[in-house]
Amino acid sequence: MTGSSSKYALITGGSRGIGRGIALALAETGVKVAIHYFQNEAAANETLAEVRKSGSDGILVQADVLHPEQITAMFKKVRSEFGKLDIFISNARPEASEFFVGPMDITLKQWDAAVDSQAKAFLVATREALALMGAGGRVIAITYAQGSRTGGVQPWVAMGSAKAALESMVRYFAVTVARRGITVNAISPGWTEDSVLNSFPDAVQALIRNWHERGWTPMGRLGTPADIGNVTALLCSGKADWITGQVIYADGGASLMNPEVPPEIQIG
């Protein structure tokens, strides 16, 4: 599949939701995509079919990112099929049911599911990715920066801590590879349709949507996977060569709001 002018990307958790949005946005720019999945091969095939409809191409790769040896095997397949890598997107996470427990009750197994899928997986995968990259390479981690800095959503304790570590590693890797012309950044989506939100009970989803439509997101809606895909494509373009080590908020302005003041007062 390798062509001298082609660009190649690997997206972990690329079969659904935000990962699918990123895969499709990159495919529209001609990037060939390795779509990673853990268990849902049918969803991965659907994404690959959409990638091909856009005129690009790709492959499927399967791995459980909680296990470093499976990450290594995944990259071996990418090397065999692509020969190189231009873009690595770290997006995979366990289902919320595996880690969504408060600090007094969370088990070490649940803690490890969050931390190993983020900080450890990013360490292992980014080193593998960098071995395949040249100048102009892009590494992007999907985070949730608000959850890394707050403590109100108690069952997010493990993932919030894991994402904080992930964002720290983005900065360290950015410095490590800056002289190679490779950038490393994170994107922090706000609440996004077709994402972790949809794993919550219907009543919780309705509360969150209503809150944001009332003004907590100044743009008056939740994000979509396509929104995050477009931001990713922007950071992967040559126009973003001078941006590295940053957490880019892609949340319609939600992170600009003051949590102690009702949104109706803030935006009139």
pLDDT tens per residue across span 2-50: 655 799 999 999 999 999 999 999 999 999 999 999 999 999 999 999 9
Would the pTM of this model clear 0.85, i.e. be above it? yes
Please check whether residue 144 is in contact with residue 189, taking contact to mean a CB–CB distance below 8 angstroms.
yes
Q: Residue 157: what are its φ and ψ, rounded to 5°?
A: -55, -45
Nearest CA among 115, 100, 121, 14 for reference residue 61: 14
Q: How far apart are CA 179 and CA 183, in angstroms?
A: 10
Q: Which domains does the chain have, with CATH numbers?
A: 8-194+224-252 (3.40.50.720)
Is 247's pLDDT higher than 70? yes
Give the DSSP H/E element, type plus range, for residue 188: strand 183-189
pLDDT tens per residue across span 139-191: 999 999 888 788 888 989 999 999 999 999 999 999 999 999 999 999 999 88
